Chains A and B, each alone.
Chain A
Amino acid sequence: MKNVFKLIPLVALVIFVSAFSNNVTHDHGYDVGDVIEDFKLKNIDGKMVSLSDYKDAKGFIITFTCNTCPFSIAYEDRIIALHKKYAAKGYPVIAINPNNPNTKQGDSFESMQQRANEKGFTFPYLVDEGQKTYPKFGATKTPHNYVVKKTEKGMVVAYIGAIDDSSRNPDAVTETYLEDAVDALLEGKEVKIKKTKAIGCSIKV
């Protein structure tokens, strides 16, 4: 009986530690190799979009972006080009606006419709209503990009980070990180650079 009592602190410790480590994983969001949960978010045309709607997709280029951040704006044309190049190959772009429109006026639903119309977005531009999706990904800023690959386990994160190494000037790009990742996946090779960093605008909560 005494031995059982001795064990109580240990059991408590194990429970405490495991609870804590769960929280930590959740706080930081998905890492490369993690299976992501599907989402159901409203597109600018009013229809709901989920990854499972895309029966033929081999994966996705998921970009957290917005109307108002200069870095997001700087990448708009490059996102359009990515969708053009990779949708037909099985990796369409899904754009998600994570900002709270009450905090950031220019990111309202109507503003999103207007911007998508002006730029001629041919991919979904989804609202993260209630801001529940971006924390799961661990996105902290716009733009923040993820490449996921369809596997038997589900959609697995293959790349997190920047589109390329030159946000300020599309003519000075020397490394196309995100394209390289998708190309590798399409060729069945390992993604060489799995994570990169870039400056961006903090997500407005």
Chain B
Amino acid sequence: MKFQFIVIALLFLNACKEKTKTATVDNTSVIEVKYAEASIDLEIYDFEGFKTFLNKSDDKTYVINFWATWCGPCVKELPYFEQLHANYKNKDVEVILVSLDFPHVYETKLKPFILKHELKSRVIVLNDGNENKWINAVDASWSGAIPATIIYNKNERKFFERSFTFEELEAEVKQLK
């Protein structure tokens, strides 16, 4: 897992270098600024590494949303998760957006998406091919369709294979014991 992270980080560093070069040739500082902003690193996990996010036992409420840039209903509901993050980050609620995008679009689609939409919630990436194993481990009732969301704390856990409005999301968080 660590190795994967390092490789991606290295690849990205390389990519960055090239872009800076191009920018210098073009002599446009605007482009340089753009790419400096773009220097985000993705947190990429296989399921073994990801599991810890599903099993925290501190006093927080965790809202784990499975999404992807290509998933229309997921993208539509992302602002509500962002709003939840903004309103509740100081109230022991942590929103984690788990991207299921394919590895070959990390640079071309996922990173630009995160930047464009200025996502403030923590975004992590789950890259694990053995879906038949880990979908059941996330929740036995999950068919595998996204969007899907888990809302849990140390006392209670709820799984949803559906879309949310902000009000519905907020109500679920408030209802949790």
Contact = CB atoms under 8 A, between A and B. Distances in A.
Interface residues of B, number: 21
B57 interface: no
Contacts of A70: 68, 70, 102
Q: Sorted from nearest, which 10 A-B pairs have the closest CB atoms? A: A141-B145, A202-B145, A197-B135, A140-B143, A196-B132, A140-B145, A198-B131, A197-B144, A199-B144, A166-B129
Contacts of A166: 129
B14 interface: no
Nearest to B68: A70
A179 B19 CA distance: 46
**Secondary structure call for the B interface:** loop
A76 interface: no
Contacts, number: 65
Contacts of B146: 199-202
Contacts of B68: 70
Contacts of A203: 145
A77 to B, nearest CB: 15
Which range holds the interface residue count of chain A? Answer: 20 to 34
B142 A197 contact: yes
Nearest to B105: A70
Give the secondary structure class of A's interface: loop
Nearest to A204: B72
**Max chain A Cβ within 10 angstroms of own Cβ: one of B71, B136, B143, B161:** B143
A46 B68 CA distance: 34
B52 interface: no
A65 interface: no
Interface string A89-105: 00000000000000010
Contact of A199 (B103, B135, B136): B135
A162 B132 contact: yes
Interface in B17-64: none
Contact of B145 (A104, A165, A169, A200): A200
A193 to B, nearest CB: 9
A59 interface: no
